[in-house]
Each structure stands twice: as structure tokens, then as C-alpha cells.
Chains A and B, each alone.
Chain A
Amino acid sequence: MSLIIDNISFSYGDRAILNKLSLEVPTGTTTAVVAPSGVGKSTLLRIIAGLLTPSSGSIILDGKNLSLVPTHLRSIGMVFQDNQLFPHLNVYDNVMFGLRMAKTEKKIASERCRDLLELVGLSQIAKQSVDTLSGGESKRVALARALAPSPILLLLDEPLTGLDSELHDRLAHELQRILHATSTTALLVTHSIHEAEIISDSIHHLQ
């Protein structure tokens, strides 16, 4: 079972962004889509997440066509380019958010949350406000938050953009380790072939 992107097209007004794009992401692997800016990488992820509707084509996840499934019922997690942490919640509550929405039993949820914070190395700052985090810490929280509800598929939108080169490489390896440790099926979009090589199992180029 896997994610199948079948002949997806999308345009903003007259401007075609994606034209009959097809792609497959096997279960338990990380696939990277590498492309320069402006060719529709983020648009592709937003279509898969259900945040945008394609003009044609379909998205099939584990054999199920997602065309009519709203975003919140797709079980697809996403790490946004600029993290989008909830400013009114602390680190712990940000990670708990998806579990609360799924009405996961409190004890199980807090255990999962603690495990994930440990996995990303942020147990010490669980109660800290997200305003006080560094760039690297924010990325880790965003990743833990997206993984918490155990999504079938994880989308990563340029997850390491804006970090200095040393931190970038360290986090890329860490990300690869975490995705493998959690056996997550993931689709990564990035403009950096170097980043894709570290994190993913297979690479697709988008022109």
C-alpha cells in the first residue's frame, strides 16, 4: 500500500502550476521531490493534504481515493516551511494538539507526547513557550507535532529551510533517523539535492 498521485493538474487562474503529474510513494519509505522555487512543490503537498483542490487527477492513499475526504479526516500530517506552531500553546500542548483533536485517551496521549519529545530531544523544554525556541528547536517541535497523531503519510515542505549549514546537516540526519525509527511514509519537497540525498530513500526531479 502506498500513496499514488495520479495525473494531477493545478492552475492559479490562467497560470498552470502542475501538469498531469504522477508519482508513487511506497509505504515506509521517504520520497523526495526536488525542484527549484516556483514550480509547484508546495502546491503539490497542499493538494495531497486537501488544502487545495486539483483541477484534474486523483490522490489515492492506501487504496482509498481522497478526492472527497476533507483535510482533517485524511490522516496526513504536514510540517510547514515556517513551522506554524500555535503561539498560544506551549511546546507540550503543541505536540498534544493532534492527539486532543483525535480525542485520544489522556494517559496514552501524554505518554505518546513524552516519547516524541524525547525522540526529538526536547523533553527538557516541554513547558516552554514556543516564542522562546530557536530555529532548530521549532523545527523539531513541528516534526513531533506532525508525528504525534500517527499519520498514514507525512508531508515535509522544505523542512530545513532557513537554518545555518551546520544545523541544517545535523537536523537532516536527525530527521532521517526519526523517520526510519517511526517507519513513517513521507514525502519531502525541497530545492536542495543535498538535503534530499540525506533524508530520502528515492528522489524525483520536478521541472
Chain B
Amino acid sequence: MVGHRLEMKIRSVRFLVIPAAILVFVTAVIPLIVLATSVIDKADIFSVWTHSSVRRALVFSLWQALLSTAFTIFLGVIATWHLSRYQFFGRRTFIALVTVPFVLPTVAVGAAFIAVLPKALHHSILAIVLAHIFFNISIVVRTVGPRWNSIDDQLIDSARTLGASPLQTWRHVIMPLGKNAIFSATALTFFMCFTSYGIITILGGPGLATVDIEIYRRAVQLGDLSGATVLAIAQMLLIALTFLLWSRSRSTELVLFRAQAISHRRLSLAPKCFFLALAAFFTVPLLALLAASMRTRDTWSLTGWKVFLGIQKQRGIDFNMWQAIQTSGKYALIASCIALPTGIAATYALSNRRSSHSRLSAFVILPLAISPVVIGLAILITYDFQPFDFRSSWLLIPLVHAAIALPFVMRSALPVVEGIPNDLRCAASTLRAGPWRRFLTVELPLLKPAISTGLAFSLAMSLGEFGATSFLTRRESRTIPIIIASLFGKAGDIPRTTGMAASLVLIVTTAMIVITIDRKSHT
């Protein structure tokens, strides 16, 4: 009897994965199947690789991703170690400064580097690598930080009393304990850099195009859907491999790294200098963005801001920024309303991992393994015929945003859900709380940190999403990142300064949302 009741319980929890599964099916699985089966011309499977632009894009994607990942991990590991183990002035602010860029809009980050770098470096590999470091260092801090933060000081002391020098302690204790997390951070950083789209749209140029850019160019500018699809599928397979390595490790929960109590060890001079340089690296581009938004040729001017706010009209710039802000806000709210409940419900279903659960888990996290550009292309092709001609429906974009945010919501919720002791549920049951009351009165309050982190992630990801949206957007439903990219595609000072102003507003808004929600969850 007891066995039967437990069985029922597991089954009923499994049902919670259904909404997330439907979301992934509609936005990723069906479109990918349609993409793979309907538009590929068999000849293109081989011939597409003969195009020099494709080969260049592939080689460039690979080496810029390797270079960006190497620098990001190197700097990220040093920063993470000190942030997670040492107490120093401004540590909390620094954690916010380092961890927020990951959720910032990629096109806006690209714009910030245009603002800070001299013109000769605007479209260069250096600009791309710097922007990738800026954007991805938080992956290292978010994944490795909590791991190292949890190492007991005395464990390191015990290594020292056993004769391990500081270097040996690093090699034999600290690195092995952070190994899985570093490995995961490396795989995820590589994935983000390889599929970089928003940053390359702004900072790339001739010879500096990634596979994602080539997919967009083939599909939209050359009309070669078949070639674009072959590239998309090949890239997806490569990423799936990287992603498999990533998801193998359990230490990959992306959390907003908490500035929790640590030992009172003080920083020596060299790390202090490192942090000063890193603080400058994270703040100077944003200050430069502010300055550049008010600078036309050699004079200071507020024209860019006036055009951005709709106070001044400018020929060739035909958007309504207020409408774009409204659209972005609406999409972000709807995407969060979809991603949060479905993500947390799915986490509940998957938190008790068995073999079937981990298969399901991989399935729900599928959108993470696919570049947003590929999702955009697949949806564009799939929902193009009656009765499924949803392309004109504005709801499609927030749905895709929700699917993209889903893995992040789940990854941040998983440790919290798994951390709720089963005895607590049992205690509530013995106090006559039914399943719903138990959830509302015991589990929901404990889930608060996961909900706020998930909310921060989903709002920020939707506000900044560019890859998939660039395929699905319509003239009347353009989001702020789409408008920023189009402004940077125009010649002249005024579109550029307007783009800078829009980028700054988007960066500040996103950062404030993430920091505020995170602070709230602390209190």
C-alpha cells in the first residue's frame, strides 16, 4: 500500500514537466525537425562547405572562441578565487560588477566597446575578445565561485600543515575541488563565444564573421535556406557535444553568486592591482558609452538622446523608441510569466533524478544547446504555412524568449529545490497540510531565492535577446536590441549616438532589474 502511494506521488510530480516539454516542443523540437527535413537540398550537405565564406566563418568561430575562452577562464579563475576567499573593500560591489554582464544585452555590450576603443580597433579581433571576456567572465564567477566559497579554510590549512606550499595547495587541493566547475565554465564559455552573434553583429566585419552570422547572411540576405540549414545543423551537433560535457557535471548551477561570509584574509598588493584593473575594465566601457552618446564629431551634443527619446526627428531613423521600450517590456514580462512557473514546475519533476529523469532533463534544457539564431531560423521556416502560420503572431517572440530562459531558470532553481529536506514535507503532512497547502506554506517561501534568480534571468534574457528575435521581429514589434543593431548598421553620427544612448538605457535597466531582484531576495 505504502509502495503504491509513493509510486503515485512520483508519477504526479512527473506531470509537472509537461508545460516545459510543450514549450520546448513548440519552440525547438518541432522547428528543428521541420528544419532538418524540409528545406535541405541534399547537394548542399557537401557543397555548402566549398564556399570560402563558410570555411572562413567556421575557422574564425573556432579560433576566436578558443582565444576568448582561454583569456576568460584565466582571468575568471584568478578573480573568482579572490572573490570567493578574501575580504576586501568593495567586494560586494565587485561581485555585482563581475556577475551582471552575463545577462546584459550582447548588442549593447558590443556598442560599449565601440565607445571605448579607438576607431582603428572597432572591428577587430581584439575588440571581440575583450567583449567576450567582459560578457563571459561572470560564467566563471557564477559556476566556480560557489564551489570555492564552500571550501572550509581549515581544509587548506590542513594541506599546509602536511607540507604543501601555496602552489602545491593550489595544484593538489583547490584546483581539483573546483575542477568540475571550471570544466563546466570552460564548456559554457566556449559555447557562448562560438555562437556569438550580437557582439559580432556590432564588432565584427569582413573576415570577422561567426557561423551564426553566416547562417543569418545565407538565410536572409542570400536566400539560401538550404545552405543555412546545413550550417545550423552542423553547428548544433558540435554544440550538443560541448553541451553534453557541460551538463555531465552537477556543479553547474548558475546562481547569482552571493556575497556570503568568508574568512577575513586580506588581499596582498598584486591581487589588489589586478582588481583595480578589472574594475576599470568593467566600468570604463560603460562610462565611455555615456560619453559617446553625447559626442557628435568633436562637439558635445544631446542630439542622440533627443532622437532616442523622440524629442527630435531625424531623417532615416524611423522608429518609435517608446513603442520599442513598451514592446521589450511586454515581451520580457510575458516570457518571465511563462518561463518561471514552467521552469520551476519542471525542476520539481526532475529534481529527483533517475535515468529517465536525466533524459527528460536534457530534453528540457535543449534550447540551451542550440544557438538562438538557429531557433529563429527554424521557427521562421516552420510556422510559415496554414493553419500554423504563427509568424505574424507577436506571441511567438516571448514564447521563444521563455524557451531560451527556461534552462537558466531551471539551473538556478535546481539546487534550491533539491535543498528542501524531504523531512520538512513529511513534517508538514503530519501537521495535516495537504499537497497544495504544503507547497504554498512551506515550499514556496523556501523557493523564494530560486524564484527571484529565475525572474532576474528571464527578464534580463528577454530584454537583451537578439539572435532569435532578429529572425522573427516585424516592423511594428521591434525590440530595443533590434533597433540598436539597425542603428549601428546606418552611416552617420546621429544614428551611432542614438544607438549608444539606447544601449546605455538597456544596460542600466537590465543591470538594475537583476541587482534589485537579487537584493530583494536577500532581504
Chain A interfacial positions (CB closer than 8 Å to B):
46, 49-51, 70-78, 80, 82, 84, 86-88, 97-98, 100-102, 145-146, 148-149, 155
Contact = CB atoms under 8 A, between A and B. Distances in A.
Given A97-B172, A101-B168, A84 B158 contact: yes
A155 B158 CA distance: 11
The 10 closest A-B pairs by CB, nearest first: A98-B162, A71-B160, A84-B158, A78-B161, A101-B163, A101-B164, A88-B176, A84-B155, A84-B154, A72-B160
Interface string B294-305: 000000000000
A121 to B, nearest CB: 21
B389 interface: no
B162 A149 contact: yes
Task: Determine which residue in B152, B160, B177 has the highest number of CB atoms from chain A within 10 A of its CB, and name it.
Answer: B160
Contact of A101 (B152, B154, B157, B162): B162
Contacts of A100: 172
B333 to A, nearest CB: 43
A196 B163 CA distance: 27
Please tell me the size bucket of the interface on B. Answer: 10 to 19
A72 B177 contact: no
Contact of B157 (A80, A88, A98, A146): A80
A149 B163 CA distance: 8
B173 interface: yes
B173 A72 contact: no
Contact of A75 (B152, B155, B159, B163): B163
Task: Please classify the interface of chain B as helix (H, G, I), strand (E, B), loop, or mixed, using the class held by over half of its residues.
Answer: helix
Contacts of B173: 86
Contacts of A145: 162
Contact of B159 (A97, A102, A155): A97
26 contacts: A46-B157, A49-B161, A70-B160, A72-B161, A72-B166, A77-B161, A77-B162, A78-B157, A78-B158, A78-B161, A80-B154, A82-B154, A84-B152, A84-B154, A86-B159, A86-B173, A87-B177, A88-B176, A97-B162, A97-B172, A98-B162, A101-B159, A101-B172, A146-B162, A149-B162, A155-B161
B75 to A, nearest CB: 25
A98 B164 CA distance: 7
B165 interface: yes
Contacts of A70: 160, 165
A98 B161 CA distance: 9
A143 B78 CA distance: 33
Interface string B37-51: 000000000000000
Given A72-B165, A80-B154, A88 B160 contact: no
Nearest to B179: A88
A45 to B, nearest CB: 10
A144 to B, nearest CB: 12
Task: Determine which residue in A50, A80, A149 has the highest number of CB atoms from chain B within 10 A of its CB, and name it.
Answer: A80
A72 B164 contact: yes
Interface string B129-171: 0000000000000000000000010110111111111101000
B154 A76 contact: no
A88 B177 contact: yes
Given A80-B158, A84-B154, A102-B163, 9 more contacts: A51-B161, A72-B161, A72-B166, A77-B161, A78-B161, A86-B155, A88-B176, A97-B164, A145-B162
Contacts of A76: 161
Interface string B79-117: 000000000000000000000000000000000000000
